[in-house]
Amino acid sequence: MAYREALVGSMEEFIHYANLIIVKRQVADPSITDEQRRMLARLLALEEAKRFHGKDDGHTER
């Protein structure tokens, strides 16, 4: 059971990391509006900040 939990955790971390890369590319896309860029940059900053507030299960309560 612990192996499965570690594997699922690793998959979730991989997907999270891949999604961050996608959003970073979108922020750099010159075809989006400044408003879209600000929104994506804000969401990206919030997601990246989660890493520095401790790792529990990858989800934070709001």
The pLDDT of residue 51: 73
What is the pTM (predicted TM-score) of this model?
0.62
What does DSSP assign to residue 52?
Answer: G
CA distances from 28 to 32, 41, 61 (A): 9, 10, 29
What are the per-10-residue average pLDDT scores of the chain (62 residues)? Answer: 69 86 94 96 88 58 44
The pLDDT of residue 62: 41
The pLDDT of residue 7: 65
Terminal CA-to-CA distance of the chain, rounded, Å? Answer: 29
The pLDDT of residue 54: 58
